[in-house]
Amino acid sequence: MASVDSTGLIVSRRLRSGDLLHAGLAIVLLLGVWSVGGLEVSTGKVSSIEAINGSTVLLPCKYSSCIGIKNLHFIWGYNANGTIMKVCEGVIRGESRDATREPRPYIYHERVEFVGSSTSNNISILLWNITFEDEGEYICFARNPKEKNREYNATFTLIVVDQLREVDNTLTVTIVSVLGGVIGLVITVMVIKAMVVHTVSEECLVRSGNDDTQNGPSGTKSDKR
């Protein structure tokens, strides 16, 4: 009957556990790199805008990726009561700075113009002569084949109005006025204080001079006999 060395078993188990640990660390590192380098799509710091009926608005959208892009597929869609209607669609071939490789997207809306550029990672569009029917959510989709066609999106909301609302600045004006009054009062008090100190100092100097004149120079007799 063959015997098994217990020491060999222990070493073998340690090797297996070490391999599993290394494999786990490799997976975690890969996932970390993947999450950091993934594609990002953004409509900027402001996700909505109010625009006057009949005006032209910019619907912004930019993308970025630390791992690079190739044949990035993007779509602008309009959310019509839960149904996404295509507005614009195109492909960014790569990160080339060659102007001849700029995307030539398909436009599905007669009042839409593509104003993006692959040189600035920009896939924004213009919407001309807007109407109240254009109000709603516009979604910018992007899919990068380098990330197994995983899709990302960002939403921009358009609000159409007859005229822009006037912002009530009453509270702001009141606060600024109060602060201005307080600052002015503090400055006035400081000026008055400085003038008083200056006047008192001059009076002290005058009195000191008179006392020295009456007493005479040091070391002389003031009374004549």
The share of the chain scoring above pLDDT 70, in percent, equals: 64
CA-nearest of 59, 111, 120, 113 to 92 is 120
pLDDT at 148 (0 to 100): 82
pLDDT at 215 (0 to 100): 56
The share of the chain scoring above pLDDT 90, in percent, equals: 38
Backbone angles phi, psi at 64, to 5 degrees: -155, 150
Q: Are strands 136-144 and 125-127 parallel, antiparallel or unpaired?
A: unpaired
Q: Which CATH class is domain 40-161?
A: mainly beta
Higher pLDDT, 63 or 32: 63
Contact 166, 65 (CB under 8 A): no
pLDDT at 69 (0 to 100): 85
pLDDT band per the 50, 70, 90 thresholds, residue 1: very low
Cα–Cα distances in angstroms (integers) from residue 7 to residues 4, 12, 108, in the given order: 9, 9, 73
Contact 89, 76 (CB under 8 A): yes
Alpha-carbon radius of gyration of the chain: 39
Backbone angles phi, psi at 159, to 5 degrees: -115, 120
Q: What is the mean pLDDT of residues 168-180?
A: 65
pLDDT exceeds cutoff 90 at 223:
no
Contact 131, 140 (CB under 8 A): no
pLDDT at 28 (0 to 100): 40
Backbone angles phi, psi at 199, to 5 degrees: -65, -45
Cα–Cα distances in angstroms (integers) from residue 88 to residues 41, 69, 99, in the given order: 16, 20, 20
Instruction: Give tens-digit pLDDT for 83-120.
Output: 999 999 999 988 766 556 788 999 999 999 999 998 88
CA-nearest of 52, 84, 59 to 151 is 84
What token pair was written down for 37?
């380098």
Question: Which pTM value belongs to this model?
Answer: 0.58
Instruction: Give tens-digit pLDDT for 2-34.
Output: 444 544 544 455 445 555 445 444 444 344 444
Least confident residue range of 14-28, 56-70, 167-181: 14-28
Which strands sit side by side in the sheet containing 112-114, from one edge to the other?
A: 57-59, 125-127, 112-114
